[in-house]
Amino acid sequence: MRSLVRMFRFVRPYRWYAAGALTLLLGMVGADLLIPRLTQRIIDQGIAAGDMRVIATTALAMIGAAIVSTLFAVANTILSVRVGQGFAHDVRSALMRKVQTFSFRNLDRLQTGQLIVRTTSDVAMVEMIVAMSLRILTRAPVWVVGSMVLLTLTSRQLAWLLVAFVPVIVALVSVFLARARPMFLGVQKQLERLNTVLQENLAGVRVVKAFVRERHEARRFDRENEALMRKNIHVMSFFAVLTPSMTLLVNLGVVGAIWLGGRAAIGGTMTVGQVVASVNYLTYALFPMMLIAGMMGPLSAAEASASRILEVLDAEPDVREKPQSQRLSASGSPRGARVAFKDVTFAYDGDGGEPVLRGVSLVAEPGETVAILGATGSGKSTLIHLIPRFYDVTGGRVTVDGVDVRDLPLADLRRQVGIALQEAVLFTGTVRDNIRFGRPEASEEEVIAAAQAAQAHEFILNLPQGYDTVVGERGVNLSGGQRQRIAIARALLVRPRILILDDSTSAVDIETEVKLQDALDRLMAEDHSATRFVVAQRISTVLLADKIVVLDRGRVAAIGTHDELLRGSPIYQDIYASQLGNGGVDRGA
């Protein structure tokens, strides 16, 4: 139960509610434990002695105890719910905040489906145990001990019976517990797999339809769905044995107590009232053990969930800030930053892995536009992701104005960078809010200027509510090219010193591309406020760049201006010939 215990730090803010719940619980158990004693009194001093007054007063006391117990139970539940829900809320927030600190590498490892299951279903599972433990789990031991003490006081003989039973029950429960945990881990893992398939299918439902793969995908889902059902049935069946066996044990205990007590009463060593009270106490002592046994299922499930939650909370973001990060010197060029790659090597799976970039060296002077050209998979996106430290280099270094990016505060570094990622993701909200994402305080004029520069202004005005149009989930009511242009406007608006456009023109039609190209050309020619990295697959996109870097399988194959490369680089000549040789409208590699 190590993970659950560790999760208890999230209960701390609610410890006073928890303390209140536990106090009420003690009162509840006290009132409950009084009842057999009072029963004994009614039988021995009321019924057997023929005293109606004792019966009446004791009955009143019993009612009182029952009412107190009920009121306490209600208050206890309310407090427990408060603790449980507060706990769940805080854990969900902590998970969300943790995920925000993740590097791209962390995110590569934990899939969205996994994170969703952990933030919802796993948290709910642990929350249930937290609330339950304030109601049932902690009540049970108090109840057991209290009943044992009272049973010993009422009849020492019958107390021995309990002593014989306890080890049997403890053994049974521990065997179950040991076997249950891996099963519950299996169930949650399966739930994750189901969620991943589901999530992929919902996100990619259009692709599925386009390729008429509905049946295939439905089958894939069915497989995981069925596996989940089987695993659940397996666990439940396993537990189907536990609770009835416990009931059987308790019933055997009661029969034993009645048999022993009956003999003692006939022999005159116990009163009938004592026998009844003892049988009750015995039941009280055994019954909570059943409760605990019944909770073993959820408890192991919660332990499994807690360990999965902690796996996320414990994950080390591998892009970390140094304790004494440097500031970018104020003398850095206001026009744009100087960005340099020095002998950079990078592998996605760390040191031992297959490098995706090898020995890359290049320099972008302030205000320069560097075009990065290369086939799909040559490492273009990877290269530019190293600038804002989405990943850290495996070897060599990346510097901004001479400072290693690893020595800069992350927020400082990333505020210098405006980036339009290859896949333009928009958030649910208005077009304006999406453009203002990186600088919510930007004025209307600035938003429009950015949209104009990104060739987005015109089509935005043609949307039903212009800049107030709400773009749907993932921006589905916009075309890919429109989304990309909004993403470019979003990158321009932050007035970055380093502007990065990753394949921004790949999803737009030829006409838009020409316009966008135009806008980019103008940006390149007029505005030197930023150093630019423009990833492109098409030569037409790069003609005007100050520097063209041709990547080939992770290596710099050539570097220079268009004219230089056309003269000196065979690989560039090839690309040029294949693309411009037949009219310049070919899509690149």
Return residues touching ligand ADP (CB under 6 A): 108, 348, 356, 374, 376-382
Question: How wide is the angle at C-alpha 174 spanned by C-alphas 169 and 178, nearest 5°?
Answer: 155
Measured from the CB of residue 504, what is the shortest distance to Mg ion in angstroms? 11
User: Strand ranges (DSSP E) for 375-497?
Assistant: 395-400, 403-404, 417-420, 429-430, 470-471
381 binds Mg ion (CB under 5 A): yes
Minimum CB–partner distance for residue 425 and ligand ADP (Å): 16
**Least Å distance between CB 113 and Mg ion?**
24
Q: Which residues have C-beta within 8 Å of that of residue 214, sequence separation ≥ 6?
A: 208
- SS3 of 462, please? coil
Site map (CB under 5 A) of Mg ion, residues 332-371, x = contact: ----------------------------------------
CB of 442 to Mg ion, least distance (A): 28
Shorter beta-carbon distance to ligand ADP: residue 118 or 385: 385
Pseudo-torsion of CA 351, 355, 361, 365, nearest 10°?
A: -90
Q: How far is the CB of 376 from Mg ion (least distance, A)?
A: 7
Residue 466 binds which one of Mg ion, ligand ADP, none, with CB within 5 to 8 A depending on kind? none
User: Which of Mg ion, ligand ADP, none interacts with 376 (beta carbon under 5 to 8 A by kind)?
Assistant: ligand ADP
Closer of 381 and 394 to Mg ion (Cβ): 381
Query: Which among ligand ADP, Mg ion, none contacts residue 332 (Cβ within 5 to 8 A by kind)?
Result: none
334 binds, among ligand ADP, Mg ion, none (CB under 5 to 8 A by kind): none
Measured from the CB of residue 419, what is the shortest distance to Mg ion in angstroms? 12
Residue closer to ligand ADP (CB basis): 167 or 352: 352
Query: What x/- string results for residues 395 through 424 when contact with Mg ion is judged by CB under 5 A?
Result: ---------------------------x--
Number of residues that bind Mg ion (CB under 5 A): 2
Q: What tokens appear for 5 in the block?
A: 């215990």
- Do residues 171 and 293 make contact, with C-beta atoms less than 8 angstroms apart? no
The owner of tokens 């760390």 is: 350
CB 121 within 8 A of CB 190: no
State the Cα–Cα distance between residues 182 and 22, nearest whole angstrom.
31
- Please, are residues 343 and 396 in contact by the beta-carbon 8 Å criterion? yes
Return the number of the residue (312 or 383) whose C-beta is nearest Mg ion.
383
**Least separation, in Å, of the C-beta of 347 and ligand ADP?**
9
Give the separation between CA 461 and CA 165, rounded to whole angstroms.
79
Nearest in space to 176 (alpha carbons), one of 307, 298, 282: 298
Residue type for position 518:
D
Chain-centroid distance of CA 149 in Å reads 46
Which residue, 287 or 348, is less far from ligand ADP as judged by CB? Answer: 348
Question: Rule CB under 5 A: which of 417-456 touch Mg ion?
Answer: 422
Question: Where do runs of H (alpha helix) occur along 268-365?
Answer: 272-314
- In the chain, the amino acid numbered 386 is L
C-alpha R_g of the chain: 35
Residue 378 contacts which entry, Mg ion, ligand ADP, none (Cβ below 5-8 A, type-dependent) = ligand ADP
Instruction: Give least dist CB 551 to ligand ADP, A.
Output: 7
**What is the rounded CA–CA span in Å between residue 96 and residue 75?**
32
User: Nearer Cβ to ligand ADP, position 20 or 374?
Assistant: 374
Nearer to Mg ion, 288 or 588 (CB): 588
Which residue matches tokens 């769940």? 88
Please give the residue ranges that form the binding site for Mg ion (CB under 5 A).
381, 422
